[in-house]
Amino acid sequence: MLEKSWVLTTVRRQDGYQDQPLPELIHQLEWACKNLQILEIGLCGLQFRTQEWQRAVLKQLAKLEQLRVLDVADYTDTLNIRSQDGLDLSLTTGLDILSSLTRLERLGFHSLRQEMTKHDVEWMIKVWPRLSSVCGWVHHSASERIELDIQRHGITVDHLK
């Protein structure tokens, strides 16, 4: 059983050439274990990247169709400041790519600044019927109102991991 994994910081080809943009290269990679049920992964370095990078990461995560728990927190943010240097989880940035994760019960993104809308929340509730827990701030400013929408559906919202 895989208990701990290290952060992937660089992907290099064996021959040293980089004739493909990194998002395309990431998309070609396959998971060693597609039956993972729990994935807690620190994703950072996306803040100043194009949307293509975000979508490439989401496409990789979408391949893990057995996931029950997905935590994409910024583990480099030890002060819980709500970093912008991770995945932006909204429909406008590609959240719908994760529609294959129909077994998802818990979604975590603590320490990441999110700007989810009511429409994003409604999509999550519809597409992930087993979702019972969200860990993180749903929206950096008007979170209470949006969190109430989530809680009305019996989904717990926890701002700490």
Does residue 10 sit within a domain? no
pLDDT recorded at residue 97: 97
Is residue 40, in this structure, part of any structural domain at all?
Answer: yes
Residue count of the chain, please give it.
161
CA triple 76-40-146, angle to 5 deg: 85
Residue 12 lies in a domain: no
Task: Return d(Cα 109, Cα 3) in angstroms, integer.
Answer: 20
pLDDT of the residue at 77: 53
pLDDT in tens, the chain (161 residues): 444 443 444 444 444 444 445 555 565 667 778 888 998 887 766 666 777 888 888 999 999 999 999 998 766 655 555 666 678 889 999 999 999 999 999 998 877 778 888 899 999 999 999 999 998 878 767 555 778 878 888 998 887 55
**85 — phi, psi (to 5°)?**
-100, 50
Assigned domain for 7 exists: no
Predicted local distance difference test score (pLDDT) of residue 78: 54
**CB of 63 closer than 8 Å to CB of 31:** yes
- The whole domain housing 120 covers 22-158
Count structural domains, the chain. Answer: 1
8 part of a folded domain: no
pLDDT of residue 110: 77
H or E element that contains 39: strand 38-40
With respect to residue 68, please indicate whether it lies within any of the assigned structural domains. Answer: yes
Residue 11 lies in a domain: no
| Residue 128 forms part of a structural domain | yes
Residue 81: the pLDDT is: 55
Q: How far is CA 124 from CA 33, 74, 102, 127, in A?
A: 25, 21, 10, 5
| CATH number for the domain that contains residue 50 | 3.80.10.10
Question: Given this model, what pLDDT does residue 88 score?
Answer: 83
Q: How far apart are CA 117 and CA 92, in angstroms?
A: 10
pLDDT at 2: 44
